[in-house]
Structure 1
Amino acid sequence: MVTANGGINQQRVAVCNIVVVARLLNAALVIPKFMLSDVWTDASQFGDIYQEEHFMEYLSPDIRIVKELPKELQSLDLEEIGSVLTDIEVMKEAKPDFYMTHILPILLKNRVIHFVGFGNRLAFDPLPFELQRLRCRCNFHALNFVPRIQETAALLVRRLRGSGSYVAPLDLHLLGPKSSSLILDKKSDSPVQEEATSSSSSKYLALHLRFEIDMVAHSLCYFGGGETEQKELDSYRQKHFPSLSTLTKKKKFRSADVLRTEGLCPLTPEEAVLMLAALGFNRETRVFVAGANIYGGSKRLAVLTSLYPNLVTKEKLLTESELQPFKNFSSQLAALDFIACAAADAFAMTDSGSQLSSLVSGYRIYYGGGKMPTIRPNKRRLSDILLKNSTIEWNVFERRVRKAIRQTKHVFARPNGRSVYRYPRCKECMCHA
């Protein structure tokens, strides 16, 4: 059993990892459960987001998946018998030997193991070929979104593409044949949506602006908001990242300026605008921004909308009634963002370390046939350009930004020890022989 923590993207990684662990231990897997987090405040469970029957059937050649524990095990006090294991008891990036040595004996003795808060608790290397392949099959094939999410996402993609709507090869994998056909069906659009999309280009850029308060607070960076900002972020850290808050008081950390020069601060909306403009995205570009709770709110987004008047979010493109089923379910809303970003003609991220950006870029590599460009900035290089020039001519700035981005755009084979979700170019994932 597993109860995964975090948001939808962390949970997705946890599910893929637990599938591999179950195969490694030759154990049946109970349909994963998701933990209610005080950060994400979403009670969604696996079946609210992913198709359970498809998940069970697709992986049936590899592992046995059941919906609940056998009756004779349901009455056991798993904590009492030592079958509940938390992240504290399972090291990060644990290798297969750890599970065989420490976990298998508990399973054999008690017949059941429950991992609570399970996340990145399985190493990428060394891992046997078949287990790595199973990890990829789970991520890229077994986890299909439920029809309700697929259908709403199809409306979103159609309105993003506007009058030039078409079904791209990636759409079929994201939405399935039935929902992807909705991209071409305009009968259900309201006059408001038709007016908003009729004159737009069929192409759009998706931008994952990872600038929510949790990211901003955890970075320990400073974003120009003075004492008010510092108090607000300190308060947030105390509530949601208590161990980090305690460390900042006991240990001297690098200054905010040093963190920024080392590329450890998330790009602000202002910096994202400069990057996109330098890359040649003009005012006519339709920009879809993933996520809605940008730190600083509409004031912070104003700089984006002033340069890109065709900037939209899912809240702007979907009607209130279309969004209503997803209200108060942040993971399900994030699934809509995932699909819109993966289906985009170009995808730009502001933080390459975020789970959504990593999973989306990997999905575009796996299914994109080398034709799905992803803009992945080197924040250290960008900070050098932005901070060390009090004055700089636009053409010089433009040239330097393009050079910095060009050096990160290549799709490499997966480096040893790196995520197969982000770097699927390896024989375990993409070789069909």
Structure 2
Amino acid sequence: MLALAAHALAENKREPKDLWQEPFVEASAWIPCADQRNWDPSGGKNGYIMVTANGGMNQQRVAVCNAVVVARLLNSTLVVPKFMYSSVWRDVSQFSDIYQEEHFINYLTPDIRIVKELPEELRSLDLEAIATVRDNDISNGDQVTDVDIRKESKPSFYLKNILPILLKNRVVHFIGFGNRLAFDPIPFQLQRLRCRCNFHALQFVPKIQQTGALLLQRLRKRASHHGPLDHCLVGPYTKSNVEETRAHGGKPSRYLALHLRFEIDMVAHSLCEYGGGEEERKSLEAYREIHFPALALLERTKRLPSPAALRSEGLCPLTPEEAVLMLAALGFNRKTHIFVAGASIYGGQPRLAALTSLYPNLVTKEKLLSATELEPFSNFSSQLAALDFIACTAADAFAMTDSGSQLSSLVAGYRTYNGGGRMPTIRPNKRRLAAIFMKNSTIEWKVFEQRVRKAVRQTKHIFERPIARSVYRFPRCKECMCLTE
């Protein structure tokens, strides 16, 4: 099938008209309005909420926004969140290393009270005491972990179980705290606050903005051009970037950003197979034992779906080979400039050979930025992820390979919220694609092309956020965006 894709690209056919476009009329009818407030500031008198968020940059971002909403819900004061060190991410970055702390505090002042540290009289509390949930009732400790709170718990849970602890001890410390707040049902203004935090209050620090602006400049080949989202992403460096590039002239080079979520943690967690045989199976099992012990235990003690069954259901990450087949079938020509986001691809450079052989204008941040320019970010995976976030969000088109990925979800939502109906995102239906890929040894290229285009075009429909789905990913809802029609 890769040979057929190479042959099709060599023909240099005209790209489909809608390849780089969103359905503009329908998409542009939704405009951002999460910055509108209709309440008085919270005094935060009920105590202090501390949060130590886990995961990478994207999981931490979701945790921060959820913590802001819980602080308002409980009329409490939020201590600037801290980030947990992870054996997977191995990053010691804290909030102020990634986001502008003063902007975060000041922007949200009309909503909640935020402080940088606990008051001195509370710092001596035993915050190591572990609270547990028994029969929906949390014990009297003041530290609450993700184990104690169900995923997407309703506001009523916090009012019933967390508020009493807060009132008694004056402080509650959430450990982990990823997706522990429901998207529905939730009061209108709290949902709007969630969007306000994500799309307005969290701005990258100047170091990241400046390098992000440089990355965008090189992606666009130094043309005198800046994208519609640059000012949101790189702030004051947008203007200086444009002024610097005017002297070079030239036509702007549009680019496609591809989030190839194919790092070893994703591959290992998927329980899928990728053609590496017994050696690969043992290697991934060993990785799970270290990094995903709960999953490894399930694998040993339960009968889990087979790799073949997982693949047929579209539950395996797209491989680089499958990603390149999708792009070729959609009609992106061989000259397309492609930015690949993500950390080290599982299988290394040989695994990327399919992409680079069919699309030679493929780059990563490591290719576009010098070792000296990247040095301030080395060993800080979350800060590197912020650069990927900027490059993907500002792209002329963005393609994800795993719709469940936090980076892909946040990027897609940011493009929807700030993009004015001009920032298309390709969201493959992996289950449908899996059925197509499974026939790749017998299917003709033209039929393959038609089926892939049909599967992907259906995901470009403009619709209001489905109930209980993420506002970070689907901000087209009355709380986050206003419909002008």
On whether the aligned pair clears a TM of 0.5, the verdict is yes
Bigger helix fraction: 1
Residue in 2 that maps onto 1:32: 81
Q: Which letter does structure 2 place at the counterpart of 1:365?
A: T
- Residues paired across the two proteins, number: 425
> Using the alignment, how far apart are the partners of 2:262 and 2:224 within structure 1?
30
Q: Deviations over 1:232-252 (max 9, x none)?
A: 100000000001001111111
Residue in 1 that maps onto 2:278: 227
Residue in 2 that maps onto 1:314: 365
Q: Deviations over 1:246-277 (max 9, x none)?
A: 11111111111111110000000000000000
Residue in 2 that maps onto 1:127: 186
Shift of 1:389: 4.4
Residue in 1 that maps onto 2:69: 20
Residue in 1 that maps onto 2:3: none
Residue in 2 that maps onto 1:164: 223
| Distance change >3 Å, CA 260–CA 33, structure 1 → 2 | same
Q: Equivalences for 1:1-150 in 2 at 5 Å?
A: 1-80=50-129, 82-150=141-209
Q: Give the conservation status (yes or no) of the 8 Å contact 1:205–1:347.
A: yes
SS of residue matched to 1:428: coil
Residue in 2 that maps onto 1:332: 383
| Distance change >3 Å, CA 163–CA 70, structure 1 → 2 | closer
Shift of 1:342: 0.2
> Using the alignment, how far apart are the partners of 2:241 and 2:82 within structure 1?
32
Q: Deviations over 1:351-390 (max 9, x none)?
A: 0000000000000000011110000001111111110342
Q: Deviations over 1:179-200 (max 9, x none)?
A: 11243244799xxxx9xxx988
Shift of 1:10: 0.2
| Distance change >3 Å, CA 74–CA 363, structure 1 → 2 | same
When normalised by structure 1's length, the TM-score is: 0.96
Shift of 1:412: 1.6
SS of residue matched to 2:470: coil
Q: Give the conservation status (yes or no) of the 8 Å contact 2:223–2:250.
A: no
> Using the alignment, how far apart are the partners of 2:101 and 2:449 within structure 1?
48
Residue in 2 that maps onto 1:270: 321
**1:173 maps onto 2:232 in alignment:** yes
| Distance change >3 Å, CA 367–CA 206, structure 1 → 2 | same
Residue in 2 that maps onto 1:387: 438
Q: Which letter does structure 1 place at the counterpart of 2:455?
A: A
RMSD: 1.7
**1:184 maps onto 2:242 in alignment:** yes
> Using the alignment, how far apart are the partners of 1:432 and 1:273 within structure 2?
36
Residue in 1 that maps onto 2:412: 361
Q: Which letter does structure 2 place at the counterpart of 1:243?
A: A
Q: Give the conservation status (yes or no) of the 8 Å contact 2:51–2:174.
A: yes
When normalised by structure 2's length, the TM-score is: 0.85
SS of residue matched to 1:101: helix
> Using the alignment, how far apart are the partners of 2:328 and 2:244 within structure 1?
32
| Distance change >3 Å, CA 21–CA 167, structure 1 → 2 | same
> Using the alignment, how far apart are the partners of 2:245 and 2:340 within structure 1?
26
Higher relative contact order (CA 8 A, sep 6+): 2
Q: Give the conservation status (yes or no) of the 8 Å contact 1:292–1:313.
A: no
Shift of 1:201: 5.4
**1:153 maps onto 2:212 in alignment:** yes
Q: Give the conservation status (yes or no) of the 8 Å contact 2:53–2:177.
A: yes
Match of 2:401 among 342, 350, 360: 350
Q: Give the conservation status (yes or no) of the 8 Å contact 1:2–1:33.
A: yes
Q: Deviations over 1:289-312 (max 9, x none)?
A: 001300000000011000111000
SS of residue matched to 2:399: strand
Q: Which letter does structure 2 place at the counterpart of 1:284?
A: K
**1:401 maps onto 2:452 in alignment:** yes
> Using the alignment, how far apart are the partners of 1:223 and 1:209 within structure 2?
15
Q: Give the conservation status (yes or no) of the 8 Å contact 1:278–1:401.
A: yes
Residue in 1 that maps onto 2:464: 413
> Using the alignment, how far apart are the partners of 1:310 and 1:167 within structure 2?
20
Shift of 1:168: 2.1
Q: Give the conservation status (yes or no) of the 8 Å contact 1:86–1:117.
A: yes
> Using the alignment, how far apart are the partners of 1:55 and 1:409 within structure 2?
33
Identity over aligned pairs, percent: 72
> Using the alignment, how far apart are the partners of 1:39 and 1:379 within structure 2?
26
* Greater Cα offset, 386-395 or 67-76: 386-395
Q: Give the conservation status (yes or no) of the 8 Å contact 1:154–1:182.
A: no
SS of residue matched to 2:221: helix
> Using the alignment, how far apart are the partners of 1:59 and 1:337 within structure 2?
26
Q: Deviations over 1:81-112 (max 9, x none)?
A: 71111111111111011001000000000000
Q: Which runs of 5+ in 2 are unaligned?
A: 1-49, 130-139
SS of residue matched to 1:431: strand
> Using the alignment, how far apart are the partners of 2:246 and 2:205 within structure 1?
20
Q: Which letter does structure 1 place at the counterpart of 2:206?
A: P
> Using the alignment, how far apart are the partners of 1:423 and 1:48 within structure 2?
28
SS of residue matched to 1:127: coil
Match of 1:253 among 284, 300, 304: 304
| Distance change >3 Å, CA 187–CA 279, structure 1 → 2 | closer
Residue in 1 that maps onto 2:47: none
Shift of 1:163: 3.9
Q: Which letter does structure 1 place at the counterpart of 2:51?
A: V
* Greater Cα offset, 376-385 or 388-397: 388-397
Q: Give the conservation status (yes or no) of the 8 Å contact 1:266–1:351.
A: yes
| Distance change >3 Å, CA 71–CA 289, structure 1 → 2 | same
SS of residue matched to 1:283: coil
Q: Which letter does structure 2 place at the counterpart of 1:77?
A: D
SS of residue matched to 1:289: strand
Shift of 1:169: 2.1
SS of residue matched to 1:113: strand
Shift of 1:432: 8.8
